[in-house]
Amino acid sequence: MRRNLWQRLYEIVAPYRGLLTLASLTLLALTVLGLVTPVWSAKLIGRALPDKNAHLFIVCILVLVGIQVATSLISFLYSYQMRVLGGRLVFDLRRRMYDHLQRLSLGFYESRSSGEIISRMMNDVNWVTALVTGTALNTLISVFKAIFLLVVLFYDSPRIATVAVLVMPLHFLGYFFFRERISHYAWKSSEKMSQVYGKISEVLGAMKMVKSHSGELRESRALITQLRENYDIGMYSGNLSTIWGHTTGNISYAGQILVMVVCGFQVINDPKVTLEDYIRLMTYVGMLYAPVSELIGVVQQILPAKVGIRRVFEIMDTQPEVEDRPDGIRSALQGNVVFRNVNFAYDQGDQVLKDVSFVANPGEMVAFVGPSGSGKTTIANLIARFYDRNSGDITIDGRDIQEFSLRALRDQMSIVLQETHLFRGTILDNIRYGKPEATLEEIEEAARQANAHEFICTLPDGYRSLIGSSGARLSGGQRQRIAIARALIRNPRILVLDEATSALDTVSETKVQEALVHLMKDRTTFVIAHRLSTIKNANKIVVLQEGHVEQVGTHDELIVQEGLYRELYDPEWAKKRKEERDQRIESLAQAS
């Protein structure tokens, strides 16, 4: 059975019960001091001054000053406790959320923008702190104050207490009218803010493209439109809250006027009721309505807070599509990879792979070729278990790939993706990312094999040169070679190169290919390339079209066969074949 929101929230707060209890006691002390103040204020105004009692006057002043000093000291302590509690809650929840995000499968990130995820992790998490450190404690104290004041009022003057209580339910009428509307616009505001974050993240990550297409003004206008929509949502929601708050305030004021009239006539008509009694009772009634108004304010905070917290838990409840096995195989790989009748589709869409079968033996270089969208990169994703197949079998060294520990499997793989990503920092840091414990000698050797050492040495700070965000200070070919060095330093058993040499010039590509020939010895290597010249030496070439395996063989075997591979490799032959097909179609049309 799914736990409700408050159970989940309690689980988050549970480790901090001690600090929360201490803060509650501190706030309770502040509340008690606030309740004592009207008693001495009433004595000062209603008895000491009318009776011209100097001793009582001095005592009242000293007590009120003492209460104020104590209130200031305890308030500082309470504020400190709230900062500590709030800071720890935010730190812990963001850490847990980030750890959880690291465990989610690749499909999760391909279905959401980075801006949306950042918005939930930063903005929405703050609502948890607001709800716990402010709203929850204030609710408890407001309820305590209201109950305490009702007891005091009923003891002091049952008639006045009854009049005050009759007005109290009117405060909550607005809840039923405003609740759904405020919750709806709170969700819309959070969603719109996620879109704003996503837009900013997307544009900043593609600034070179934006500038090259003179798109600065268009992007500014697009963002302004989204900001305006978010502003309008916030204004409408804020107006609803303001109307609700003013309605509550007017009800409180009407209740105080009613009590003032009843209590005033008591003073006038009943000699036993003194001015001190009037001041005390009116102060208590005012204090009674204050926590009621505070409770309304708390409800106004809870409604958007629940939206934010639900958005946080929505992420936390997302389960990885690719499940890891705690007892998974962790042994060293030999690199025998077999696909047998494998089918795969993204999110139950059209089939991307259809009955794909091939065998890759240790030490072999297996290349995948075919038109865009034929399923080449999808095969690489399945080998790395970024996704799991829908049906069929994928085995490594004779064991189902799902029996392996994900960490152990990927630790023995190196993957150079089609889209190169480098982290902000130095070249040294980026190459070492593949092997955190690598020595400088190992890093330099990997760079040499990737044909990157020479250009790195020409930089002012060599391997310690800063490369900017995503390697912005390097050329495309330089970024690609650093990514290759990062993969090589892992000394993998399985190597996946997804267009790994696409950004290299001819000379660099030749040198890297020479290095890869040595590197691929005794390793299973999968190469995806559109430039067929890069895979002529492959032990096996798998030709794909629309998710099917069309042909399998070496370059020499496939180039002499009529088929897709020869069409891809030899444009002139492909042109001739197309003309022949067009002529046959035209002949058939004329014959019919």
pLDDT at 553: 92
The tokens describing 518, both together, are 């040595």
**Range 317-321 average pLDDT:** 85
Higher pLDDT, 517 or 492: 492
Show the tokens assigned to 435: 């092997």
Q: For 128-161, write each residue's pLDDT tens digit.
A: 777 777 666 667 677 777 777 788 778 777 877 7
How many residues are recorded in the chain?
A: 592
CATH architecture designation of domain 419-491: 3-Layer(aba) Sandwich (3.40)
Q: Which residue has the higher pLDDT, 147 or 501?
A: 147
Q: Are 380 and 358 in contact (CB under 8 A)?
A: no
Dist CA 538 CA 525 (whole Å): 9
How many Å apart are CA 148 and CA 136, to the nearest integer? 18
| Residue 1: per-residue pLDDT | 35
What integer is the mean pLDDT of 24-36? 81
On the question of a common fold for 331-412+494-502+520-592 and 419-491, the answer reads yes
Look at residue 69 in the predicted model and tell me its pLDDT.
92
Residues 5-316, CATH architecture:
Up-down Bundle (1.20)
Would you say 352 and 536 are in contact if contact means Cβ atoms under 8 Å apart?
no
Confidence bin at 239 (pLDDT 50/70/90): confident
Ordered by start, the domain boundaries in the chain are: 5-316, 331-412+494-502+520-592, 419-491
Looking at every residue in the chain, the average pLDDT score rounds to 80
Q: What is the pLDDT of residue 225?
A: 86
> Which of the two residues, 340 and 516, has the higher pLDDT score?
340
Three-point CA angle 513, 515, 521, nearest 5°: 100
Residue 112 CB coordination number (10 Å): 16
Would the pLDDT of 110 be above 90? no
CATH superfamily, domain at 331-412+494-502+520-592: P-loop containing nucleotide triphosphate hydrolases (3.40.50.300)
Sign of torsion, CA 513 519 521 522? negative
Among 83-97, 201-215, 233-247, 486-500, where is mean pLDDT lowest? 201-215
For the whole model, what pTM was predicted? 0.71
| Highest mean predicted confidence (pLDDT) among 93-102, 392-401, 486-495 | 392-401
> 128 versus 333: which is more confidently predicted?
333
Alpha-helical runs (H) found in 168-215: 173-205, 207-212
